Structure 1
Amino acid sequence: MRAPACGWCGPVSESAASDHVHATMRIVLVCATGVLQFGLSLHPLLTLDYRHRSLAVAAFVALACVPAVCCWWVLRRRPLPAAVAAAGTAVVLVASFCATAAVAPDQRFQAPDWSFGLVGWHLLLLLLDRVRVLVTVLAVHLAASAVLFLSAGVPDRAALGAAGATAFSAINVQLAVIVVTRVLSRQSHEATAVAEERDRLAARVVTAQQWERGQRSVFAGQLGLTLPLLAGLADGELDPRDGDTRRRCALAATQLRRLFAENDEVPDPLVHEVTACVDTAERRGVDVSFAISGAAVPVPSQVRHELTGPVVTALSAARTRARVSVLRTDEEIRIAVVADAGADDMVTAPTGQVAVEYGAYGEYLRMETRWRKRHG
């Protein structure tokens, strides 16, 4: 997300990749600023003549303090706070003006005017991730230096050419650093986006593979319960006219139908799975009334499995009549079944997130599953 740009805050980096590029470039700039200041600027300060040497020395010390203070954040690879960037920029500009004022007018843009090229590196260090502000400040510094240069009188052609060459070389190098940083940030951002997309695709593949393995396990487990029943019927060990055998066949058929319904892409999976159980019971000749109350809500697949498991058992045990009702509210989901079956037909009940209650009322069995949603 891009934060709004305002004042010294500037546009915030679009990604951690851009922050990494800026952090690395600041470390490079701290080293470059130190080398340029003490390796190139200190010698003319100590050996050349100045109108106000104390002013030049004070400017040199002030400029040296800026990268020293920035090191607290730079070496920890953290962005500079807006207050530090603003205060540092003010110090750099004031020190630059003082250093230029300490030089004789005819020596500006020459060796004694060491601050002109050096100040740009300090500004790069302070404002690298605030490009618009950085370019504006660099332009102001260049304009102020040109005004001071021209205020001493009209220079001759040689002095004007030397000043232009000095300004052009210094500004070009600093602008090149800005462009390189922007290019690296963009490329790093694009590489991060590609890596994130690759990770997302890999995660989807892993999820799909896990789902496929889970479905195979479920089908294998369901068929493992059904195959002994089919083998018993084929071998004649089970009598199709026996009531217990018919209930086992009804239970297996309802479970398989519910299992197939779990894989369908439908707007309301819970009602779809309950409807599949009801259809299987009706094909056996059971008169089923089905009522639904409340709007569709998302229900995890595991919870749906626990909610409909007792429904499968109750409907497969129904002999001639059953009533199914689904109640959905913002707080909970309930599925109730009343069927002409005995409580001893409820041989299993799921344990976990779903509560199950059942009992016999004369010749009828009443069963209810309930799931209360967890908020937060």
Structure 2
Amino acid sequence: MSADLGTSAERIRTRTAHVPGPSPGPADGPTPAEPAVLAAPAAVAHASDRGARIVAVAIALAWHVAIGLPALLAVRTQFTAPTVVLGGWSVVAVTGAVAGVRLLRGTPLPPWPLAGLLLAVDAAVFAAVGERQLFAAANWVWGTLGWFFVLALWGRRVSGLVALLITHALIALAAVLAHGPGAADLARYTMYVYGTFSLPVAVFVGSAVIVGLARDRAAAAAAEHTLAAERAAAERSRQERRDRLALVGAAAGRVLGELAAGEVAPDDPQAQRRCVLAAARLRRLIAESDDVPDPLLHELRAAADLAERNGLPIDLIAIGTPPPLPVQIRRRLADPLTGLLAEARGWARLTVMSGPDEVVVSLVTPDREGPDTTGPPPGKHDDGPVQHLYERDGDIRWAQTRWLG
């Protein structure tokens, strides 16, 4: 049927003029924005990851400044090389601050050069603190450096962090062995290594797990939302199909029933006009289900098709691009003119003028004697958001429907 309509409509003389206006879009309601739905899990994961980054940066800098610095300054004269220890602390503070800011902005520093710098400071500080401060709080690399390893390798595999922490533990072991440790020193070393490993690795792995869970839950929620939207769209489509079938039955059922019952004669001009009108409305209603760029113009062509087949020359003029219109508005714009077109004689000119917030459809045909049987009542009246205007002067008939957004 749709292909037949398109072939027949090509015989109608059509002139189209384009003026700036919105692009055609879905007319019967919004559809789910798929890119936005697909981006939701990534957005949730990004927000979760940013929160974890803030926590990691805060822990590293707070520990380095609030815990490491006071302990370092309290015994700075007892170090073997105080300048090296203080200089190393300063290098890590500056580097860590820059790395933290870059990490929060999403442009982290290159991880392995940064890790190499931290390990070099690690070895220098262990060599410079001396035996008395080796396990003291003043040896800030025990508690601080692991957190800066976390910042350096954020977003990468945990195996890289473990490798850095193992290297850090080996550097510390070399410093302990260099001073001839006893059993107590080795026990303290083991405790320090455990503390150095456990907390940074726990935060690193935990943040990755939280981000993954947030992404999965957001993806599940987005999929559920998409499924619900698709179900709603399918139900809306089924309801519109039922409504359309009911309108189709109403358009043709009464006149066919009267013909079948013998209440009207097939050669009665009035009955013939009613049949033409019912057929035109039927074809227009069927055309509503077609997926086309300009539904209103497509439906008007369908309504004009039968009149054109009966030999009526029709000049269809389209100016502008109509905005997306609900099907109910399109029906109110087209139906009054469909009735006049069904009984037009001689010629007809159908004009569609569209703007961003206004659509005007007008029909001009030669006037004829006798009362109107299918057209709207004379004068101006409103049908909800659509205005109707109909006039006749003995020479021509002019009808207009107008929608204002």
Please report the TM-score for the alignment, with normalisation by the length of structure 1.
0.61
In the alignment, which residue of structure 1 is the partner of 2:333?
A: 307
214, 234, 241: which is aligned to 1:188? 214
Change (3 A) 1:182 1:214: same
In the alignment, which residue of structure 2 is the partner of 1:287?
A: 312
State the shift of 1:146 in Å.
11
In the alignment, which residue of structure 2 is the partner of 1:361?
A: 393
**Aligned residues of 2:337 and 2:363 also touching (Cα < 8 A):** yes
After TM superposition, the structure 1 = structure 2 runs for residues 1-376 of structure 1, keeping only pairs within 5 Å, are 14-20=42-48, 105-110=130-135, 112=137, 118-119=143-144, 155-156=178-179, 158=181, 162=186, 166-167=192-193, 169-171=195-197, 173-283=199-309, 285-302=310-327, 303-329=329-355, 332-340=358-366, 344=372, 345-347=374-376, 351-372=383-404, 374=405
State the shift of 1:236 in Å.
0.8
Deviations 1:74-115 (A, max 9, x none): xxxxxxx99xxxxxxxxxxxxxxxxx9xxx842435265586
**Aligned residues of 1:321 and 1:339 also touching (Cα < 8 A):** yes
State the shift of 1:225 in Å.
4.3
State the shift of 1:314 in Å.
1.6
State the shift of 1:313 in Å.
1.6
**Aligned residues of 1:18 and 1:186 also touching (Cα < 8 A):** no
**Amino acid in structure 2 at the alignment position of 1:156:** H
Q: Residues of 1 paired with 2:224 and 2:333: CA distance?
A: 37
Q: Residues of 2 paired with 1:170 and 1:207: CA distance?
A: 56
The CA RMSD measured in Å over matched residues stands at: 5.3
Change (3 A) 1:157 1:336: farther
The alignment covers a number of residue pairs equal to 307
Q: Residues of 2 paired with 1:19 and 1:323: CA distance?
A: 59
Deviations 1:292-344 (A, max 9, x none): 24354443233322221222122123244322222334564322211245773
**Aligned residues of 2:258 and 2:264 also touching (Cα < 8 A):** yes
Q: Residues of 2 paired with 1:320 and 1:240: CA distance?
A: 23
**Amino acid in structure 2 at the alignment position of 1:239:** A
Q: Residues of 2 paired with 1:306 and 1:350: CA distance?
A: 10
State the shift of 1:122 in Å.
8.0
Q: Residues of 1 paired with 2:132 and 2:383: CA distance?
A: 90
**Aligned residues of 2:147 and 2:200 also touching (Cα < 8 A):** no
Please report the TM-score for the alignment, with normalisation by the length of structure 2.
0.57
**Aligned residues of 1:105 and 1:149 also touching (Cα < 8 A):** no
**Amino acid in structure 1 at the alignment position of 2:314:** S
Deviations 1:121-142 (A, max 9, x none): 98799x799769xxxxxx99x9
Larger RCO, structure (CA 8 Å, separation 6 or more): 2
Return 342-351 or 307-316, whichever deviates more.
342-351
Change (3 A) 1:121 1:310: farther
Q: Residues of 1 paired with 2:319 and 2:178: CA distance?
A: 88
Structure 1 residue runs without a partner (length 5+): 1-12, 32-40, 53-80, 83-99, 133-138
Q: Residues of 2 paired with 1:346 and 1:361: CA distance?
A: 15
